[in-house]
Amino acid sequence: VWGLWWMGGGSWLIPGLLLIGMGLWRLRPPKWLLLPSFGVAALASVLLTGWWAETNEWIVYSLAALAGAAAYSLGLLLALRPWPWLSAALEPLGRTALTSYVSGTAVIVLLVPLLNRDLTRWSVVALALATVIVQALLSRWWLARFRYGPLEWIWRCLTWFRRVPNRLESGRDQNRPLPDPGVP
C-alpha cells in the first residue's frame, strides 16, 4: 500500500507483490476461493485498464497492474493444482528466478528490432514461449550440478559476505538449499 499511494507505484510495488505471492503460496487458499478471486481480479484489471486508457492517471495504471498481477498469480495457482507436472516443470525457473529474469530481459531487449517488424506481434509470443522453454531446460540442467543459479549464487555470496559452496557434492540437491548462516 505504501509503495502504491506514497511512492506512486512502479518498482516500489515489487517487494509487496513478492510478499503477497509468497503468502498466497504458503497459505494455499482453498480452490473454492481461488476461482471467484481470480474472476474478481481479472475483471478489476480489465475495468481499471479501460479507465486508465481514458484518464491516463498513474495511480489508475498502478491499480490496474496490481489487479492484473493478482489475476496472474491466482490463475497460476489454479493451473498448478490439477497439473503437478506443470509445477515440476516451473520449479527450476523458481530456483533460478534472478538468472532467468536477467537473461530473459537480455534476449528480449536484443531482439526488439526484429520484434518491431512483426505487426501481428505473434513473434513476441513465440519468442517469450521459446525463451521460457530454453530457460526451464537450462535451469534443470544447471540445478542438477549446482545448488543455486549463477546470479542467485553471486547474490548469496554478496549478501552473506563470504563465498558460499555451490557445487553439488553427490548428485541432486533434493530442494535443500544451504541453511542460513545465522541459524544453528
What integer pLDDT is reported at residue 30 of this predicted model? Answer: 82
Does the pTM of the predicted model rise above 0.85?
Answer: no
What integer pLDDT is reported at residue 73 of this predicted model? Answer: 81
What integer pLDDT is reported at residue 91 of this predicted model? Answer: 86
Whole-angstrom distance, CA of residue 184 vs CA of residue 181: 7
The pLDDT tens digits along the chain (184 residues) read 555 555 555 566 677 777 777 777 787 778 788 899 999 999 999 999 999 889 988 778 888 888 888 898 888 888 877 777 887 888 899 899 999 999 999 999 999 888 888 878 788 889 999 999 999 999 999 998 999 999 999 999 999 999 999 998 765 555 554 443 443 3
Whole-angstrom distance, CA of residue 155 vs CA of residue 177: 14
Whole-angstrom distance, CA of residue 108 vs CA of residue 125: 11
* Contact status, residue 38 vs residue 24, Cβ threshold 8 Å: no
From residue 155, alpha-carbon distances to 78, 125, 141, 148, 150 in Å are 31, 30, 20, 10, 9
What integer pLDDT is reported at residue 88 of this predicted model? Answer: 82
Whose cell is 549464487? That residue is: 153
Contacts 24+ apart (CB under 8 A), 30-38: 31/78, 31/81, 34/74, 34/77, 34/78, 35/78, 37/70, 37/74, 38/71, 38/74, 38/75, 38/78
Q: State the sign of the Cα–Cα–Cα–Cα dihedral 108, 112, 118, 119.
A: positive
Whose cell is 529474469? That residue is: 101
Whole-angstrom distance, CA of residue 42 vs CA of residue 117: 30
What integer pLDDT is reported at residue 134 of this predicted model? Answer: 95
**Which one-letter DSSP state was computed for residue 169?**
S
Exposed (0-12), middle (13-18) or buried (19+): which is 105, by Cβ within 10 Å? exposed
Residue 167, beta-bridge partner list: 146
